[in-house]
Structure 1
Amino acid sequence: MTFCGGAQSVTGANYLIETETGQKILIDCGLAQGSRFAEDLNYAPFSYAPAEIDTIIITHAHADHFGRLPKLYRDGFRGRVLTSNGTRDVMEQAFPDNWQHIAEEAKFSGHPPLYTEADATGVMELVEGLDYYQTVDLGQGNSMSLLNAGHILGSSLVHLEINGKVLGFSGDLGNSGSLLMPEKDFIKDADYITVESAYGGRIHEDKTEREAKLLEALMHVVAHKGALMLPVFAVERAQEILFVINKLVENKIIPVLPVFFDSPLAIEMTRVYRKHQSEFNQAARDLIASGDDIFNFPGLRLTESVMESKKINDTPGPKIILAGSGMSTGGRILHHERRYLPGPDNAIVFVGYQVDGSLGRKILEGQRHVRIYNESVAVGCVIKAIGGFSGHADQPQLVDWVERANESGKLKKVFLVQGEDESAIALSEAIKAKISVDTVIPKMGESFEL
């Protein structure tokens, strides 16, 4: 197994398994994001021949796990793409939006686009949507199945059986107590597992605080007639925030006020979520069954066109703006941040992970001036981060997941990926304090014989 991406880095997941008989299987093919080296990493040639890959398994539809799939296709890949039904549907909506960003970035960078629209269309034709727990024959006596990771719609753990050995991959593990997703599954018979470590050194704040903290920021802008900016990921976080605001409005905890859902992609993803609501947790399904439209409430306005988005400025506060991207690395949120970051009557609330180097991270770390569209923008608004909305498991949950993977007693090695060094080291120490197992923090390009 070779770690071609996602090693000592939160983003860019890409793991290659080569069998004794020459079969080549990839787990994920994600974009590097956030760091100043991300563009170079994304444009760099793959460290393997894409045309020789037999199968790629996508754990979920976040760009750092599937974003380079069209580039893989462009460079010769024509094998099978296996993923969950939910992930397939999310990817289908995400690719056109991703392509627009790729084309825009190419104009500014001077690089040719990372891939073409035809590459994205072509690779989608190779995608096979699977049910959870469905066993798929990979040939040569090898097989795989997907289990629920509890992270976002369609997110999966990978249970891979190669030559009688079980390899488990966490993808991104969900945070317990998700508003929409069911609890994550466990792989209990693994010989080797590869597990994410984004929050390997952290313990999330109490989930009961997430609504209270959001309400605190919201009441600030209500009192001062300001704007509340919520940078959201189009998948999961946007839907969770709609769910919470729906509850606050319908229970009359907050007044009805303009809530602008200013992300065409997130709007489309919410339609995908409606299609897959049978995959929600029991509490969310019960609400829907009672007649509650959990993603709709008085005051909500969908601003799909550019003109509608621009008109948000004409609406006086108080108002709420949900827009992408979740790390403020692009998208419509940048226009709102340029306008509203300086004002003390306004607030920005981060409800997702902010990778090192991202604009969101810079704001969160207290930089008083940031650059947006090559302009210096003062930061004078209220700034909050709510960890309780995190879609990632924290250290206790990650350790528990690894412990459960060792229930069979045959776990030989744990590979810690998708985390900054400090997080991975902290998780390694926490695991070793609980169970006797070899933990490894692989370097980029490092290979291991299993």
Structure 2
Amino acid sequence: MAQVKMTFCGGAQSVTGANYLIETETGQKILIDCGLAQGSRFAEDLNYAPFSYAPAEIDTIIITHAHADHFGRLPKLYRDGFRGRVLTSNGTRDVMEQAFPDNWQHIAEEAKFSGHPPLYTEADATGVMELVEGLDYYQTVDLGQGNSMSLLNAGHILGSSLVHLEINGKVLGFSGDLGNSGSLLMPEKDFIKDADYITVESAYGGRIHEDKTEREAKLLEALMHVVAHKGALMLPVFAVERAQEILFVINKLVENKIIPVLPVFFDSPLAIEMTRVYRKHQSEFNQAARDLIASGDDIFNFPGLRLTESVMESKKINDTPGPKIILAGSGMSTGGRILHHERRYLPGPDNAIVFVGYQVDGSLGRKILEGQRHVRIYNESVAVGCVIKAIGGFSGHADQPQLVDWVERANESGKLKKVFLVQGEDESAIALSEAIKAKISVDTVIPKMGESFEL
């Protein structure tokens, strides 16, 4: 059987920057994801570094989902010569289309601040979007030379996909980011059951999530603190999925009169736009969410909600006395409007900040969460005196038991030869490796950046 070579060009021993190259003996080259490195002090250097392969030689790239650490370097790939096919789900295509203008704005601002050229141009983002083909789940696509692929539901965010790749008679499975069971909006994740090799994320490979039934109670606890003290509740949210989930929960709390009607500022133009994309794809929600919509509940709207799309509207949030809730990006406090609110409200004990998503090592969100009493925002030292909470039950990532179960199910055919553990810090990947080997007899590998394997 002909050999297949897989190289880990990103996402190895790192949570972000997913980028995996598959090469066949006949010269076909396929990429899985092309993400930005995020969070660490080396991220900018990694993103600007040349690709370790010739972009012009890539035939196809498959994007698992529309988070920047999985698709954010696509325009740079295009800028450097890529003109092949970009395959992804219909939902991911629509999310990417809205995300690129926002990403470009941040790229341009960062370049201006640091004094180097932008990572890519707006024309590069437009150009690569013209190459994107949206696919239905379970649709088989011919890649040429007898190879094929299909996408399955990953249950992580709208459009998130597992990749089932048949290359030279071998089945390669890629998890992308695996969703957490019990999502408020997404259906349960699928399984790849006939794989020879699988590449699995390990962001929470060493963790067991808290009980999902506690997520609303914990949010309510923080919310009642700011109601009692007339403070501000800050919610750093990712524009895709987490923002919509939080709206969903607040809608429930308001409409069931569990909390009073109070100002809820949705202060993220991108998240507002993404919510419109979610409305377009509500047929992809889980049954419970679809039933609510069918009953007439507008799950993303409720009394008190204010959409602050313009900068002027955002600045006026300061004029509204507490209690109030502010949803803004970015989810890890690495940029976006949340920084302005954090600079203003972090010092006050009447206020609270609640993290509802993963905080990568080195990010401002991680520093706040780990208890730093002073942080730097816009080159100012800002005291941290507010209530700080993290709610793991909102996590969009599978935890260790779910990841182990997913790998076990991948071995149902009995032909699973190797499991590659990626997209996690070393400690998480090692813990997941040990947990997998305690359950099934399979070779687990934690690849290094740039390491290649013959499959």
Residue deviations 1:309-359, cap 9 Å, x none? 000000000000000000000000000000000000000000000000000
Residue 413 of structure 2 is aligned to residue 408 of structure 1: yes
Cα deviation, 1:46-84, whole Å, max 9, x if unaligned, reads 000000000000000000000000000000000000000
- Equivalent pairs, count: 450
Give the match's secondary structure for 1:273: helix
Looking at structure 2, the residues matched to 150 and 161 of structure 1 have their Cα atoms a distance apart, in angstroms, of: 22
What is the rounded CA distance, in whole Å, between the counterparts of 1:227 and 1:19 in structure 2?
Answer: 55
Secondary structure at the aligned position of 1:325 is classed as coil
Stretches of structure 1 that go unaligned for 5 or more consecutive residues are none
- Selected match of 1:349 from 354, 374, 381: 354
1:198 Cα deviation from its structure 2 partner: 0.0
Deviation of the 1:98 alpha carbon: 0.1
**In 2, distance between residues paired with 1:271 and 1:110?**
35
| 1:358-407: CA deviation from partner (whole Å, max 9, x where unpaired) | 00000000000000000000000000000000000000000000000000
Tell me how far 1:37 sits from its aligned partner: 0.3
Secondary structure of 2:291's counterpart equals helix
Q: Measure the CA separation in 2 of the matches of 1:319 and 1:69.
A: 38
Instruction: Give the deviation of 1:292 after TM superposition.
Output: 0.1
Q: Which runs of 5+ in 2 are unaligned?
A: 1-5
The match for 1:53 is 58
Question: Residue deviations 1:129-167, cap 9 Å, x none?
Answer: 000000000000000000000000000000000011000
Three-state SS of the structure 1 residue aligned to 2:108 is helix
- Once residues 214 and 112 of structure 1 are traced to their aligned partners in structure 2, the CA distance between those partners, rounded to angstroms, is 42
Q: 332, 335, 340: which one pairs with 1:335?
A: 340
SS of the residue corresponding to residue 147 of structure 1 reads strand
SS of aligned partner of 1:87:
helix
**Deviation at 1:94?**
0.1
1:242 is displaced (CA, Å) by 0.0
| RMSD (Å) for aligned C-alpha atoms | 0.2
SS in 2 for 1:82: strand
| Structure 1 runs, 4 residues or longer, greater than 3 Å off | none
- After superposition, the C-alpha distances for 1:235-276 in whole angstroms (9 at most, x for unaligned) are 000000000000000000000000000000000000000000
SS in 1 for 2:452: coil
**What secondary structure is seen at the aligned counterpart in 2 of 1:204?**
coil
**Alpha-carbon distance, 1:25 to partner:** 0.0
Secondary structure at the counterpart of residue 327 of structure 2 = strand
Q: Which string of whole-angstrom CA distances, capped at 9 and with x for unpartnered residues, describes residues 394-437 of structure 1?
A: 00000000000000000000000000000000000000000000
Structure 1 match to 2:275 = 270
Distance 2:225 2:146 in 1: 60
| In 2, Cα distance between equivalents of 1:129 and 1:223 | 48
Cα distance in 2 for partners of 1:165, 1:350 equals 41
Whole-angstrom distance in 1 between the partners of 2:402 and 2:375:
35
In structure 2, C-alpha distance between the alignment counterparts of 1:85 and 1:416, rounded to whole Å:
27
How far did residue 224 of structure 1 move? 0.1
Any idea what SS the aligned residue of 1:439 has?
A: strand
Distance 1:20 1:113 in 2: 36
Q: Deviations over 1:96-142 (max 9, x none)?
A: 00000000000111110000000000000000000000000000000
CA shift for structure 1 position 20: 1.1
Per-residue deviation, 1:216: 0.0
- What is the SS of the residue equivalent to 2:151? strand
Find the aligned partners of 2:26 and 2:172 in 1 and give their Cα distance: 17
Shift of 1:284: 0.1
In 2, Cα distance between the equivalents of 1:151 and 1:21?
A: 34
CA distance in 2, matches of 1:402, 1:110: 45
Question: Within 5 Å, which residues of 2 pair with 1:106-121?
Answer: 106-121=111-126
Give the 3-state SS of the residue equivalent to 1:168 in structure 2. strand
Cα deviation code 1:203-231 (max 9, x no counterpart)? 00000000000000000000000000000
| Alpha-carbon distance in 2 for matches of 1:163, 1:13 | 23
Secondary structure (helix, strand or coil) at the match of 2:22 reads strand
Aligned partners of 2:327 and 2:157: how far apart in 1?
Answer: 18
Q: Is 1:134–2:118 an aligned residue pair?
A: no
Separation (CA, whole Å) in 2 of partners of 1:229 and 1:52: 46
Partner of 2:321: 316
Secondary structure at 1:414's aligned position in 2? strand
Instruction: For residue 34 of structure 1, give the secondary structure of its aligned residue in structure 2.
Output: coil
What SS does structure 2 have at the residue aligned with 1:434?
A: coil
In structure 2, how many angstroms separate the alpha carbons of the residues matched to 1:253 and 1:20?
62
Task: With the length of structure 1 as denominator, give the TM-score of the two structures.
Answer: 1.00
